């Protein structure tokens, strides 16, 4: 495959007038997007309660402005002119710019395929559906959700027809979250994973929370504040806040913000959110460090690759023995817990515990993937017209029994648990499992090339070899490759769930040795 050289240099721009002009317009759009992120971050973190409605108008106005600039005729023509100019002049970086225009026009052409009416109907319907879903979930009445969810499925199918696809309708929607990925490929990947996970699920063990007391939030925060810096996310370009749902967002190339949430009874909840969101943020930092941006190539590859970065730091690194040998004393000291109150083995077993449960966001490393595969199978059939919305609870419950061996006592703990479908985000779920698969494959490759990493972590709190490897092999590539090509270039082989399975098996063996030791 072609070696990618980061040829986003400025020097070339003097010779490419139209290219330079198009890049100025792109820069402006990018800056406006960052301003929008400031508004959104502020809405989640600092906005006074009654300011919400007017903030909605501010976000609406700015979103509209960005859309009219990005999807408008002017920008399109400017970009076409720049693309033609690049075709005509043989100058260094010509091929890279060609890819840049491919990515740009993929996105522009895609959004232009939807009619204004469909976009608006989709937006209005999903906005109504949110409160319908909230209420239906609260009252455990799936039937109340059926009419509007059916409408969303219908509109999503219409979207898919507008976008176009080769093999199946679902692929057109998957493309929004995982460009280049196909359901047929996911089916193979997930089939292997599902079969391999089955025996592991049975070997998993539920471990009770070992914390001896509730830990006040200010102490949990003090502990959490230490983490991003240790991993390589400098406080000079980032900050940590608390929010209802943890998230990570980029407000500028040197302004990456993450959030966590605190559980008085379980400080690990906050720690693992911070590890996860720091992973996302480090990826965004790495992308911002690519010279010559912003551009359509200065972007993440896909949600799956983005999730691979968060999962890598959260699970591959954050649940490893060497990480906790390093972090355990820090945790005891800052949280003011004595060693005899919280033994290392108990803590480590708890961190890596697994047992089938009902709720995806609370699931462990092993069963999480099955939760995702279940959703993928269901939403694929739904969009491809093989099943109906009204039948979802039955299908959901029988798949839960089949995959995880558990009975679903109520729809609110079952088919109604997640927000995604009410927002029309069909094709989103599989990216979570892809993130797990990619992360294990990337980390295994890294470890082979860096056998000293675990010692560096344990003895020197030094994660730099990993961060540098990720920067070099993932972050610095921007959106130049597809997810599959990127994984191939970084690991030398196709995406393959066996690395994840091997990791989980090794983990089980490690835990079993603790329990029997």
Q: Provide the annotated binding site.
A: 276, 280, 307
Q: Which is nearer to a copy of itself, 221 or 465 (CB)?
A: 221
Q: Is 353 in the site for a copy of itself (CB under 8 A)?
A: no
Q: Which is nearer to a copy of itself, 69 or 346 (CB)?
A: 69
Query: Do the Cβ atoms of 429 and 303 come closer than 8 Å?
Result: no
In the complex, what is the shortest distance from the CB of residue 68 to a copy of itself, in angstroms, rounded to a whole number? 13
Measured between alpha carbons, how far is 163 from 111 in angstroms, rounded to an integer?
8
Measured between alpha carbons, how far is 181 from 433 in angstroms, rounded to an integer?
13
Give the burial class of 449: count Cβ atoms within 10 A of its Cβ; 0-12 exposed, 13-18 middle, 19 or more buried.
exposed
Measured between alpha carbons, how far is 14 from 18 in angstroms, rounded to an integer?
10
Q: Which is nearer to a copy of itself, 55 or 360 (CB)?
A: 55
User: In this structure, what DSSP letter does residue 3 have?
Assistant: P
Q: At 359, which helix (H) or strand (E)?
A: none
For a copy of itself, what does the binding mask look like between residues 248 and 277, x meaning CB under 8 A?
---xxxxxxx--------------------
Select from 55-63, 144-152, 300-308, 432-440 the region that touches a copy of itself (CB under 8 A). Answer: 55-63
Q: Is 69 in the site for a copy of itself (CB under 8 A)?
A: no
Q: Which is nearer to a copy of itself, 61 or 71 (CB)?
A: 61
Q: Is 74 in the site for a copy of itself (CB under 8 A)?
A: no
277: annotated active-site residue: yes
Q: At 238, which helix (H) or strand (E)?
A: strand 238-242
Q: Which of 86, 156, 238, 491 binds a copy of itself (CB under 8 A)?
A: 238
Q: Is 237 in the site for a copy of itself (CB under 8 A)?
A: yes
Measured between alpha carbons, how far is 490 from 473 in angstroms, rounded to an integer?
5
In the complex, what is the shortest distance from the CB of residue 35 to a copy of itself, in angstroms, rounded to a whole number? 5
In the complex, what is the shortest distance from the CB of residue 149 to a copy of itself, in angstroms, rounded to a whole number? 34
Give percent helix, percent strand, percent coil of the chain, each to the nearest 5.
Answer: 70, 5, 30
Q: Residue 92: which of 1, 14, 25, 23 has the closest Cα?
A: 14
Q: At 430, which helix (H) or strand (E)?
A: helix 430-449
Show the tokens assigned to 259.
């959030």
Spatial CB neighbours of 285, under 8 Å, sequence gap ≥ 6: 233, 237, 256, 475
Q: Which of 6, 18, 58, 63 binds a copy of itself (CB under 8 A)?
A: 58
Handedness of CA 63, 67, 68, 69 (dihedral sign): positive
For a copy of itself, what does the binding mask look like between residues 186 and 225, x meaning CB under 8 A?
----------------------------------------
Measured between alpha carbons, how far is 487 from 259 in angstroms, rounded to an integer?
28
Query: Do the Cβ atoms of 267 and 286 come closer than 8 Å?
Result: no
Helix (H, G, I), strand (E, B) or coil at 260: strand
Q: Is 390 in the site for a copy of itself (CB under 8 A)?
A: no
Q: Which is nearer to a copy of itself, 291 or 394 (CB)?
A: 291
Q: Which is nearer to a copy of itself, 29 or 132 (CB)?
A: 29
Residue tagged active-site, from 277, 284, 314, 379: 277
Q: Is 395 in the site for a copy of itself (CB under 8 A)?
A: no
Query: Do the Cβ atoms of 3 and 30 come closer than 8 Å?
Result: no
Q: Is 239 in the site for a copy of itself (CB under 8 A)?
A: yes
Q: Is 21 in the site for a copy of itself (CB under 8 A)?
A: no
For a copy of itself, what does the binding mask look like between residues 32 and 51, x meaning CB under 8 A?
x-xx--xx--x--xxxxxxx
**Residues at the contact surface with a copy of itself, assessed by CB under 8 A:** 28, 31-32, 34-35, 38-39, 42, 45-51, 53-55, 57-58, 61-62, 234-239, 251-257
Q: Which residues belong to the active site?
A: 277
């Amino acid at each position: 495959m072609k070696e990618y050289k980061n040829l986003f240099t400025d020097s070339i721009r003097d010779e490419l007038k139209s290219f330079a002009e198009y890049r100025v317009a792109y820069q402006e759009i990018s800056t406006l997007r960052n301003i929008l992120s400031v508004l959104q971050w502020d809405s989640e973190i600092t906005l006074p309660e009654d300011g919400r409605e007017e903030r909605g108008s501010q976000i609406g106005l700015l979103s509209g402005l960005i859309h009219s600039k990005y999807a408008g005729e002017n920008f399109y023509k400017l970009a076409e002119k720049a693309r033609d100019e690049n075709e005509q002049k043989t100058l260094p970086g010509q091929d890279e710019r060609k890819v840049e225009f491919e990515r740009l026009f993929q996105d522009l052409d895609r959004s232009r395929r939807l009619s204004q009416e469909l976009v608006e109907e989709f937006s209005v319907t999903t906005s109504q559906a949110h409160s319908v879903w909230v209420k239906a979930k609260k009252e455990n009445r799936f039937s109340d959700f059926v009419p509007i969810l059916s409408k969303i499925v219908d509109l999503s199918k219409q979207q898919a027809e507008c976008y176009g696809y080769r093999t199946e309708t679902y692929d057109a929607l998957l493309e929004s979250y995982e460009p280049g990925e196909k359901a047929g490929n996911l089916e193979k990947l997930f089939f292997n994973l599902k079969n391999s996970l089955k025996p592991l699920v049975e070997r998993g063990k539920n471990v009770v929370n070992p914390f001896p007391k509730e830990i006040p939030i200010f102490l949990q925060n003090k502990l959490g504040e230490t983490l991003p810096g240790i991993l390589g996310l400098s406080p000079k370009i980032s900050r940590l806040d608390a929010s209802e749902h943890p998230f990570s967002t980029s407000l500028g190339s040197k302004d990456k913000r993450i959030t966590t949430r605190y559980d008085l009874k379980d400080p690990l909840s906050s720690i693992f959110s911070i590890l996860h969101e720091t992973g996302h943020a480090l990826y965004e930092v790495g992308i911002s460090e690519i010279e010559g941006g912003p551009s359509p190539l200065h972007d993440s590859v896909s949600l799956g690759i983005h999730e691979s970065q968060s999962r890598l730091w959260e699970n591959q690194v954050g649940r490893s023995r060497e990480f906790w040998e390093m972090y355990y004393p820090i945790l005891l000291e800052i949280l003011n817990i004595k060693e005899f109150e919280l033994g290392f083995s108990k803590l480590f077993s708890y961190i890596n515990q697994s047992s089938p449960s009902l709720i995806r966001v609370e699931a462990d490393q092993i069963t999480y993937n099955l939760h995702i595969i279940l959703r993928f199978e269901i939403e694929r059939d739904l969009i491809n017209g093989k099943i109906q919305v009204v039948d979802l609870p039955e299908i959901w419950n029988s798949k839960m029994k089949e995959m995880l061996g558990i009975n679903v006592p109520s729809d609110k703990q079952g088919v109604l648990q997640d927000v995604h479908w009410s927002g029309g985000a069909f094709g989103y779920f599989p990216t979570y499992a892809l993130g797990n698969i990619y992360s294990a494959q990337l980390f295994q490759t890294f470890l082979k090339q860096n056998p000293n990493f675990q010692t560096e972590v344990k003895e020197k709190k030094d994660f730099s070899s990993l961060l540098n490897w990720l920067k070099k092999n993932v972050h610095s590539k921007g959106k130049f490759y597809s997810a599959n090509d990127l994984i191939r270039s970084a690991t030398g082989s196709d995406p393959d769930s066996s690395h994840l399975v091997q990791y989980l098996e090794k983990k089980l063996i490690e835990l079993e040795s603790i329990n029997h030791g």
